Structure 1
Amino acid sequence: MPTTKTRWFNNYDTQKGNDEMYSLNNGMKPYWNKLLTEFDTLGITGLTARQKDIDWLLSENGVTYNVYNDPKGLHRPWNLNVVPFMLHQDEWTKVEAGLKQRAELLNLVLKDVYGERKLIKNGIVPYEVIYGHRGFLRQCSGMELKIEQYLSIYAADLCRGTDGRLWVVNDRTEAPSGMGYALENRSTTSRILSDMYAEMKVKRLSGFFQEFNQMLIDAAPGKKENPTIVILTPGSHNETYFEHAYMASFLGYPLVQGNDLVVRDGFLWMKSLQGLKQIDVVLRRVDDAFTDPLELREDSHLGVAGLLDVVRRKNVAVINPIGSGVIENPGLIPFMPAIAKYFLKEELKLPQIASWWCGQEKERNYVLEHISELVIKRIDRTNRESIYFCEQMSAKELEELKKVIIERPYRFVAQERINFSTAPNLSKDKLEPRNVVARSFCIASKGEYSVMPGGLVRVAPDGETVRVSNQRGGTSKDFWILDDAEIKEDKNRHWQKKSSIAISGLDDLPSLTAENLYWAGRYVGRTLVNARFLRTVMRQMAIVQNRDEKPDSEKLKVLFKAVTQLTGTYPGFVEKDKNGKLAMDNPYEEMLSVILDKNRIGSLAHTISMFGNSYYSIRNLWSSDMWRVFENIQKIWNSLVDGDDHSINKILKVLNQLITRLIAFMGLIEESIMVQQGLLLYFIGLQLEQSTLNITKCRALLTIKYDEQVEYDLLEYLLTSHESLNIYRYSYRSHIELAHVLDLVVLDLDYARSLTFMINRIQKDIARLPHSKHDHQLNNYQKYIFEAFSKLRLAESTKLAMTKSETDFKREDLDTLLEELSDLLYKASQSISNTYFNHTDKQTQLFTQSFPI
């Protein structure tokens, strides 16, 4: 029972099952009592404050988890409970031995399944358990690898059974996730609970991750001292994309997608700005069947055509090997004791759930007779199919399930329904017991397996939920292994060998990463320019509104049409819509749409969404400060989108906040990555976008001649939206004149916001791109930019400001120049994309293969 020191646990309900705080005799475990004593000094108020600190820190660090098919799913904040999950080293030593044994067993099974198949030939495992599993890939049959241990990474889900021991619930072998989240959890709790963390003598994780890095290096064919290693991700919409980016940043390896890689001459290459760079090791987070569209699923856009052939030739190491998903198989669980005796002449060291494979008559009959007491699973897991908790099903549902089992019995496994242990979880200012599942990780290391001293603990979302899953709203805990001995402080992280970092220079930058950097620059520039101009227009609308005037003045009409031209949201204010209506009749409604309609291409909301997507795609490159500013931008914007107040004043307030955060974000980019690591592509995209939009803005406001007052106001609006009004006044100290405005905004070679300065900057930056250095001739994109710069240098503001005659209303020379510049910048952009970002190569299978979903 709780001691008096932990009196605020008196209402802690453990009647529903065994609890991690208590041993079988219901006495509190000493280390839990010690932690609760530490908590008691904080009190519930102090502990709740620590939980808020954890929530704040995770948000600041941008830790997210994507929940599929959920409106709020993308980039959902990661939840970490302040109360850790704890085991003592005495118990952990036994668990560790069991995990090593199980990893070695599954390694031998994996070799056998695609090799000699002794388990099937000798009747240890029925062939349907292997061949009936969707993870078995016939294309991998007979494939040999150079590495000694095929199964490089293994994860096991553990729960405490009614006998007080930790049981294996699931095996994860295809592309086990959670290692990065476990590391982030530890980083967070060790900061927020630093005093308790030291007092409880928690074992460190640093040694494990050093071994993990060394494992990747040692896996390289030919035992290269400096192999090129990449992390293959399905992309930013994957549920654990944060972890992919986090591990890439932590280990210093480039994060690539399938389009970044290509097979040539029996080797795997990364497409860089310079050309192709050979890859030695791929740490994959793409499922087996999607890794090679040439031999496996032809509809996959996530893998690399021909990858399996490179693996067969032993020219690349893929971790875990393609095809390893076949042993992520609950159908193997009933046969694991026999497998252990066959391969190791040992008993299993870790207990398992009692399981019955329905492909055997005796076992199937037992399952059908006792189905209401069991949990039914398919032998191959998939997110599209449920686990059947039969005690919660109706009689009719059970009969339907029986029919499905009888039809294809080999596909199903039944498992005993067990109430696994609970652990204390802080919820609503009190501790409540919640079901927990602990995931532990093993890695191949020097002929055996090393186990992470901890792992990832997932927690049920409420006290009634049995199934524990992040996709179903679960949270997490840090996993502490406690020792009696003093824990030495972590030394600086130092890898035993230094692997080459493929992102070290422009020549080695993955092409998809380069493209995302380029578009990140374009979307940041587009968001800033459009937000500033929209703010200028909304200010004028506010002035008109305050004066109770109708918004139909000539200058406002020009501004409204410029909004449509700048954002590309046609027909907008320029033309009638399909119903014959003109937006000019209700400008406020149209402005709201241009600002807030996320589904309208060109709107500010759509641009911010695209800016966010480009940012997430390369988030492993950004600093934590950038993430904080980015998160702040999202919160500010969402406060407007999700709020009920869409008044002009509210919009102006949000636009002001948005613009200042964008400027801060842009300033931080230069501190996050070096120019030769990809910042150059961002700069080129940014300058191209800002130049193009400034040309559009000048064409909309300056090429038509208006009466003197309207023209003066439009010049002032242009300077204001360009953030150049003050510098104009300081530089010219005169009445605002068109020729001077053109000199400053368009032609000034020394003013950073002028069109000439930006195009000159583009000219210098593109000269540093790899293909620009091949010979003395200019590339097409260089020619276009050089021509644009030359036209600007030859232009004269006084001539541009003139019309052909006193009666003309159009400044032909200015309009022609701006139109030519716009066309040249578009051609330059297309040329850059075609030269460096071409991902259109497509390979197809010679015949169609069926991969059931």
Structure 2
Amino acid sequence: MNSTVSTPIAATSESLLASPYEQPNGAYDEAFDLNRMARPQWQAILECIKGLGTEGMQDRHRRAQRILRDDGATYNLKNDPLSPNVWALDILPNTISAAEWQTLELALAQRSTLFDLIYKDLYGEQRLLKEGIVPSEIILSHPGFLRRCHGIDLPGVKHLTFHAVDLVRDQAGQFVAIGDRTQAPSGAGYALENRTVVSRVLPSLFRDSHTLRLARFFQTIRDTLSNLANRITDAPRIVVLTPGAYSSTYFEHAYLANHLGYPLVQGGDLTIRNGKVWMKSLAGLSQVDVIVRRMDDAFCDQAELRSDSMLGVPGLLEVARQGNVVIANPLGSGILETPALLSFLPQISEFLMNETLMLPSVTSKWCGNPNDLALVLDNLKDWIIKPAFRGVNSQSIYGHSLDLEGLKNAKETILRNPAAYVAQSYIPGSHTPIWENETLRARPCILRAFTVASEEGYCVMPGGLTRVADSSVESIVTKLSGSRSKDTWVLSDEPELNQDISVSSLQTIQAQVTNLPSRVIENLFWFGRYAERAEMSLRLMRTTFKQLNGIDHFPTESREILLSALSEITGCLPGFQDNDELIQNPSNELASLVIDEQRTGSIKSNLQLMLSCGEQVKEMLSADTRIILNELRDHIHSLERAYINGLPSVPEESLDSLVTTLLALSGLNHESMLRGMDWMFQEIGRRTERALLTAKLLKATLSQPLPSLQQQQILESVLLSVEALISFRRRYRTQARVSFGLDLLMIDRTNPRSLIYQVEQLRKYLNELPHSQQASLGLSPENRLIIKSLNDIQLADLESLAQIDETTQSRQALEDLMTQITDQLEQLTTIISDKYFDHTAGPQQLIKSKWKNDV
């Protein structure tokens, strides 16, 4: 395998205009010519590196990583909200001169035009097949060719809205296309994020380099998508359809949706009614006119495509056939990604456009052709073997890396079904400098370029997404997850003129902001609930540690009540309740309640669930919120380290940072979020959970009478856990009576943690929620419950609640009242859930893929 022999030199040792590493073997060097002198477009970058020095570069690298993490830029989340994979970025940009770019830009636009014509032909007249330009077997046997899409009347001159091309340079520096992405081309959002980060950490270099900006490309996307629905409506509703939060590229979906100003939806957020697509939201059903899909063809419609898909919208294809929704890219475009087409692309170009391709493709041989098959098998070491039908688990075979046994096995594999394979010549990726381990090193790279249809033809993103291998041993960059990325700069000779950006669609976008999918508000509702659960558990746990390890004696009766209350609040039952052994030796159970993520109700479990809800609605979170959530993740990891050997010596201190971070999150939401439905439901979740937990805490701690000293200890513990102890002492001095505590914790409207405060806030929010026009006469069920709870609290006689029932030897009235309020609040959450959240079962499998047709 070709590789680079690197002898890296520290960036500050001498001028970097001479290469600090040797010429790559058999590959083009992006930064240095054959004389090992810097190419013109790289000179400013290399001088910048020298000027910053090692420490300066390291500082810029750390800042870039921090920005990426704060932005929530991830790839391949691994279903772990605590440790998402942060997007890998090298801060040194890859550069292309303006003169070279002009030629490449024209070639990319021509290629996109050609692929658009191929799509139109394959799903229209099929002249390519009839005239024998493309063998029918390549198309008709390909699972990506959707016969159900044949003859669909699509709007616009161009049917292929988005197109991405993977490019490498050959040894002479000529760009060569090695693949095309036409279903849901990914990477444009990451390219924009890369540009945002690099321009912030190297602002002077970016400004002085006259780099072509990306704004026009993304504005063209908005204009094109709006124009697609012209025949449907003058004010189209456009949505971005994502597979969900655990898609490896979910960050990009959310980032693009926010940048373009479109709602981000999942399949469950959409439904088909009366031959149209509708988005389910708080305001009811809203018609969707354009869908920007970020998933492959087969998963988009369970009714006509993959029956086992859980991601799409059943019936979507039929609505598209009727012309009532536009899908970008159109369904069926996956056939264009087959590498077998590259074998015939020059002939296709001459046939459909009467033009010679400006951008050459990698030499490709379809093994279904006997002559090509013989050529490939005779020289297998010179080829890369790719499946003609690209799938999720499809693997390429790199002939140059195989031994004799591997070559034999590869030949046997190909011969079993030659038509299923394509051979491509091996082109080592060009090498570009990266900053690694405080020095410059060379790594092979690949460029993904992007185009979008426009009224004039195709608009090309000036730059693109450069990916570089993580190892110098690898000469081909095969996937995003095994590589890092670079910003790609197209350098102009003079500053780019400012361009006017159309604002004609802003009014429509603003009018749609508050129309949120039901799934979004449900996740925000639970985000608030889990945050409150975690905070209340943390506060009570911290108080428990202080009391158990305090200088004052904490009697057994007080210990039993406080520990049992902790089990009640966390929901980890039976726990300490009626377990004398655990009460006497509580360390292991307390450590489990803090750190055992597998235990539902533990502090770590609640925090993980809160972070998971946040990932589901990443597009709704502000930059400051993401920063706080990252701090929370750091504190959770610190907590794990502190508890690695069980309960630490001073356990309450390890919880302080978590409480502070949750308070910062609550304060940010209260002070910075717009009072829309997203904020409203998050607040409803928080207030409901706080009311429930407060009622449970009062019942668990104060309903059982104790001697005066122990009673005072428990009352003060409760007050301390809700940050009300100082206020209580100022108001009542040394009179630690239960009725006084109930006054502060139940009916004091000035206490933002009192029970009545939560219920009154809930009543206020419920009155501001949208109501159905078919609502029943009189009060709604949720309002009845909230008013009843409010009356129960206001009419309570605190002295009577504090009295001990002679029959039960407990404060039975207090216990009954708290039980009643808890039941009513739980009923309230059920009603809110049924009324405002979408509980329609997810897409169902209409037919088992393994069923056989025995008819």
Match of 2:67 in 1: 57
Map Cα deviations across residues 581-640 of structure 1 (whole Å, 9 max, x no partner). 953353111111111011111111111100001111112112111111111111111112
1:689-700 matches, cutoff 5 A: 689-700=689-700
Partner of residue 500 from structure 1, selected from 478, 484, 508: 508
Partner of residue 561 from structure 1, selected from 560, 564, 567: 564
- Structure 2: how far apart are the matches of 1:490 and 1:106? 29
2:587 and 2:647 in contact (8 A); partners too: no
1:419-434 matches, cutoff 5 A: 419-434=428-443
TM-score (norm 1): 0.94
Match of 1:104 in 2: 113
Change over 3 Å in CA distance of 1:639–1:745 after alignment to 2: same
Task: Give the counterpart letter for 1:501 in structure 2.
Answer: I
Structure 1 unaligned regions, length at least 5:
none
Task: Give the counterpart letter for 1:518 in structure 2.
Answer: F
Give the deviation of 1:406 after TM superposition.
Answer: 1.2
Change over 3 Å in CA distance of 1:73–1:740 after alignment to 2: closer
2:17 and 2:38 in contact (8 A); partners too: no
- Structure 2: how far apart are the matches of 1:756 and 1:480? 59
Map Cα deviations across residues 755-791 of structure 1 (whole Å, 9 max, x no partner). 1110111111111111267655222222222221121
Give the deviation of 1:25 after TM superposition.
Answer: 6.6
Match of 2:605 in 1: 606
Map Cα deviations across residues 551-609 of structure 1 (whole Å, 9 max, x no partner). 98221222221111111112322266xxxx95335311111111101111111111110
1:230 and 1:283 in contact (8 A); partners too: yes
- Structure 2: how far apart are the matches of 1:8 and 1:206? 32
- Structure 2: how far apart are the matches of 1:490 and 1:55? 31
- Structure 1: how far apart are the matches of 2:353 and 2:89? 39
**Helix, strand or coil for the counterpart of 2:756?**
helix
- Structure 1: how far apart are the matches of 2:83 and 2:264? 19
- Structure 1: how far apart are the matches of 2:442 and 2:430? 9
Match of 1:747 in 2: 747
1:366-405 matches, cutoff 5 A: 366-405=375-414
- Structure 1: how far apart are the matches of 2:353 and 2:17? 49
- Structure 2: how far apart are the matches of 1:763 and 1:348? 67
1:293-308 matches, cutoff 5 A: 293-308=302-317
| 1:269 is the counterpart of 2:285 | no
- Structure 2: how far apart are the matches of 1:309 and 1:39? 56
- Structure 1: how far apart are the matches of 2:307 and 2:101? 44
- Structure 2: how far apart are the matches of 1:782 and 1:387? 62
Match of 1:83 in 2: 92
Match of 2:525 in 1: 518
Match of 1:442 in 2: 451
Match of 1:326 in 2: 335
Match of 2:132 in 1: 123
Change over 3 Å in CA distance of 1:405–1:110 after alignment to 2: same
1:210 and 1:496 in contact (8 A); partners too: no
**Helix, strand or coil for the counterpart of 2:768?**
coil
Match of 2:38 in 1: 28
- Structure 1: how far apart are the matches of 2:83 and 2:148? 34
2:302 and 2:313 in contact (8 A); partners too: yes
Map Cα deviations across residues 179-231 of structure 1 (whole Å, 9 max, x no partner). 11111111111121111112211111111111111111111152633211111
Map Cα deviations across residues 317-372 of structure 1 (whole Å, 9 max, x no partner). 11111221111111111111111011011111111111111111111111112112
Match of 2:573 in 1: 570
Structure 2 unaligned regions, length at least 5:
1-6
> What's the C-alpha RMSD, in Å, of the aligned pairs?
2.5
Task: Give the counterpart letter for 2:520 in structure 1.
Answer: T
1:253 and 1:503 in contact (8 A); partners too: no
**Helix, strand or coil for the counterpart of 2:657?**
helix
- Structure 2: how far apart are the matches of 1:186 and 1:60? 15
1:703-718 matches, cutoff 5 A: 703-718=703-718
Give the deviation of 1:676 after TM superposition.
Answer: 2.5
Match of 2:770 in 1: 770
Change over 3 Å in CA distance of 1:795–1:66 after alignment to 2: same
Task: Give the counterpart letter for 1:36 in structure 2.
Answer: L
Task: Give the counterpart letter for 1:487 in structure 2.
Answer: E
**Helix, strand or coil for the counterpart of 2:185?**
coil
Change over 3 Å in CA distance of 1:470–1:755 after alignment to 2: farther
Match of 2:664 in 1: 664
Match of 2:783 in 1: 782
1:751-762 matches, cutoff 5 A: 751-762=751-762
Give the deviation of 1:141 after TM superposition.
Answer: 2.4
TM-score (norm 2): 0.94
Change over 3 Å in CA distance of 1:811–1:235 after alignment to 2: same
Task: Give the counterpart letter for 1:767 in structure 2.
Answer: N
Change over 3 Å in CA distance of 1:488–1:800 after alignment to 2: same
Change over 3 Å in CA distance of 1:609–1:73 after alignment to 2: closer
2:17 and 2:47 in contact (8 A); partners too: no
**Helix, strand or coil for the counterpart of 1:500?**
helix
Identity %: 34
Match of 1:820 in 2: 820
Q: Which moved more, 1:807-816 or 1:407-416?
A: 807-816
Give the deviation of 1:828 after TM superposition.
Answer: 0.9
1:205 and 1:452 in contact (8 A); partners too: yes
Change over 3 Å in CA distance of 1:650–1:198 after alignment to 2: farther
1:438 and 1:457 in contact (8 A); partners too: yes
Change over 3 Å in CA distance of 1:374–1:469 after alignment to 2: closer
Give the deviation of 1:732 after TM superposition.
Answer: 2.7
Map Cα deviations across residues 420-440 of structure 1 (whole Å, 9 max, x no partner). 200000110111110111111
Give the deviation of 1:89 after TM superposition.
Answer: 0.9
- Structure 1: how far apart are the matches of 2:89 and 2:774? 52
1:772 and 1:778 in contact (8 A); partners too: no
**Helix, strand or coil for the counterpart of 2:424?**
strand
1:221 and 1:315 in contact (8 A); partners too: no
1:537 and 1:559 in contact (8 A); partners too: yes
Change over 3 Å in CA distance of 1:454–1:7 after alignment to 2: closer
Q: Which moved more, 1:323-332 or 1:425-434?
A: 323-332
1:221 and 1:314 in contact (8 A); partners too: no
Task: Give the counterpart letter for 2:111 in structure 1.
Answer: R
- Structure 1: how far apart are the matches of 2:434 and 2:163? 28
Match of 1:528 in 2: 535
Change over 3 Å in CA distance of 1:135–1:73 after alignment to 2: farther
| 1:583 is the counterpart of 2:582 | yes
Q: Which moved more, 1:819-828 or 1:248-257?
A: 248-257
1:640 and 1:651 in contact (8 A); partners too: no
- Structure 1: how far apart are the matches of 2:246 and 2:507? 29
Task: Give the counterpart letter for 2:532 in structure 1.
Answer: G
Match of 2:55 in 1: 45
1:704 and 1:811 in contact (8 A); partners too: yes
Task: Give the counterpart letter for 1:637 in structure 2.
Answer: I
Q: Which moved more, 1:149-158 or 1:49-58?
A: 49-58
Map Cα deviations across residues 486-506 of structure 1 (whole Å, 9 max, x no partner). 233577x65443362377465
Give the deviation of 1:147 after TM superposition.
Answer: 2.5
Q: Which moved more, 1:290-299 or 1:414-423?
A: 290-299
1:132 and 1:411 in contact (8 A); partners too: no
Change over 3 Å in CA distance of 1:341–1:24 after alignment to 2: farther
Map Cα deviations across residues 695-731 of structure 1 (whole Å, 9 max, x no partner). 1111111111122211111100100111111122233
In the alignment of these two chains, the number of paired residues is 840
Q: Which moved more, 1:238-247 or 1:72-81?
A: 72-81
Give the deviation of 1:739 after TM superposition.
Answer: 0.3
Give the deviation of 1:479 after TM superposition.
Answer: 0.4
Change over 3 Å in CA distance of 1:407–1:154 after alignment to 2: same
- Structure 2: how far apart are the matches of 1:751 and 1:844? 48
**Helix, strand or coil for the counterpart of 1:22?**
coil
**Helix, strand or coil for the counterpart of 1:382?**
coil
Q: Which moved more, 1:776-785 or 1:91-100?
A: 776-785
**Helix, strand or coil for the counterpart of 1:81?**
strand
1:503 and 1:510 in contact (8 A); partners too: no
Give the deviation of 1:84 after TM superposition.
Answer: 0.6
Change over 3 Å in CA distance of 1:621–1:671 after alignment to 2: farther
| 1:538 is the counterpart of 2:539 | no
- Structure 2: how far apart are the matches of 1:377 and 1:642? 46
Task: Give the counterpart letter for 1:160 in structure 2.
Answer: R
